[in-house]
Structure 1
Amino acid sequence: MPWSRAAHDGPQESETVRLPYIDRAEAGRVLAERLVPLGLDGAVVLALPRGGVPVGHEIARRLGSPLDVLVTRKIGFPPQPELGVGAIAEGGAPVFDRELLGRLGLREDDLAGTVEAERAELARRVRAYRGERPLPETTGRPVVVVDDGLATGGTARAAVRALRERGPSRLVLAVPVGAAETVRAMEAEVDEMVVPAAPWEFRAVGQWYRDFDQLTDGDVIAWLGRPGPAGRPGE
């Protein structure tokens, strides 16, 4: 079910894409062509590392926009860290899955130590990816938030809520593939949403890519350093 959504018009069918994507770069090129008609002049592209950065690079190059990262971290259930009960994005407050917390018998305060540890790792990654350089200015300009896929939507939700506080003129979430239920649940969080493929049978993001190698911090830095539309890294 490929579709895009603008705040004023509801879901729209779009051209079918062939899955799986070859890799994140191909997915980014496919996604970029669906973003061009939105008229995102002056936009900044913010990719969620690590996997969103190759996707975002292709989008930024096609749109002629600067590319940077918005760092997020999952907040895991301490006995089972891979189970995400929330997420945090730089500059934003933790966003929790309250329904899941209730099922687990947890309060937000119970996760204070986990949140503190994730804030520290988030700060480390910000330094690794950007050094002392701040986030690009987003007030009054379009912002495109990019990831390589949308499974539960926890980190994407934390990212767009943090960015909403920074006053963008338009907030667009763009992912090459997302679980249909999650895509619909994210509608209210953004002004526009572009998802070329939103299958109902969705186990993991990686199943929709032939090449889905795990990326390192070094990979992210290398992608950010590739020439952009003006022949300069990230621009």
Structure 2
Amino acid sequence: MFVIQDEKYYNKFGVFRDRIDAGNKLANLILKNLDVDKDKTDVVAIPAGGVPVASAMAKKIGLKLKVLLVSKILFPWTTEAGFGALSMFSDFELNEDAIRYYNISEEVVDVQIKKTREKIAKRLKIIPKKFLIGEGNKVTFIVDDGLASGYTMLVALKSARRFYDKIYVAVPTASSHAIDLIIKNCDGIFCINLRDIYPYAVADAYLEWHDISDEEMLEFLK
């Protein structure tokens, strides 16, 4: 287990022009520090924001692009922050500290999990099957556009172990808290912009930031 970062971007803001730029910089960091066997390695994206990052990265390194559907279990009052995550294989993790802090009832937790499951089911219908994670190579990089709490990546790692012997996490930006949460569940982490400044927001690493729609995600997969 290791964490490779770019020291010149530690605790910096506005590091990337956009997600494509982030994917290209991530590819450079990986190629500089790891001998990648292109015949045995995949890039697995977490939709939707992770897809453009992974697409650029896969193209630059010369790897196949796959998708692993994992989604935040959102707080009922926001479309951004969550208290856990759920995958297409029904693996999930709950942030019990957040649930207690906001005094979220079991009923609300169940409702939000149901909504997350429905969101994943909808995406499963629109993403071409050839892109969905399945039996394939021995090694993978799991990619998202950034890690705030780390719970989405934690669930992704749990699900990806069904298919890969060696799993690296590759993210443009992450909080130190998220890195601490996932480090024991992967074989190594590549993160350009590590930040231990609170509060942490993924968007602060990007000059251009917008939510990636399902339509835009499909264009990147094409």
What TM-score, normalized to structure 2? Answer: 0.85
Distance 1:67 1:108, change over 3 A: farther
Q: Is contact 1:129-1:217 (8 Å) kept?
A: no
Shift of 1:92: 3.5
2:15 aligned residue: 20
Distance 1:126 1:13, change over 3 A: closer
Distance 1:138 1:99, change over 3 A: farther
1:232 aligned residue: none
1:220 aligned residue: 217
Structure 2 residue ranges without an equivalent (≥5)? none
Q: Is contact 2:58-2:64 (8 Å) kept?
A: yes
Q: Is contact 2:193-2:205 (8 Å) kept?
A: no
SS in 1 for 2:47: coil
2:67 aligned residue: 69
1:59-95 CA-to-partner distances (Å, cap 9, x unmatched) read: 1112211112212221123466654111101114221
Distance 1:90 1:151, change over 3 A: same
Give yes or no for the alignment of 1:173 onto 2:165. Answer: no
Report how many residues are paired.
215
2:195 aligned residue: 199
2:165 and 2:89 mapped to 1: Cα distance? 18
2:215 and 2:100 mapped to 1: Cα distance? 38
1:13 and 1:104 mapped to 2: Cα distance? 33
2:212 and 2:191 mapped to 1: Cα distance? 22
Shift of 1:174: 0.5
Shift of 1:178: 0.8
2:15 and 2:190 mapped to 1: Cα distance? 18
1:213 and 1:110 mapped to 2: Cα distance? 28
Structure 1 residue ranges without an equivalent (≥5)? 1-6, 226-235
Indicate the larger mover: 55-64 or 170-179: 55-64
1:169-215 CA-to-partner distances (Å, cap 9, x unmatched) read: 21111101111222222211211111011022253111111111222
Shift of 1:11: 4.3
Shift of 1:14: 4.3
1:34 aligned residue: 29
Q: Is contact 2:171-2:190 (8 Å) kept?
A: yes
What TM-score, normalized to structure 1? Answer: 0.81
1:114 aligned residue: 112
The equivalences for 1:139-178 within 5 A come to 141-164=138-161, 166-178=162-174
Distance 1:49 1:187, change over 3 A: same
Distance 1:193 1:224, change over 3 A: same
SS in 1 for 2:207: coil
Shift of 1:156: 1.2
Letter of the aligned partner of 1:76 in structure 2?
L
SS in 2 for 1:102: helix
Distance 1:103 1:54, change over 3 A: same
Q: Is contact 1:31-1:59 (8 Å) kept?
A: yes
Letter of the aligned partner of 1:171 in structure 2?
I
Q: CA RMSD in A?
A: 2.4
SS in 1 for 2:89: coil
2:108 and 2:177 mapped to 1: Cα distance? 29
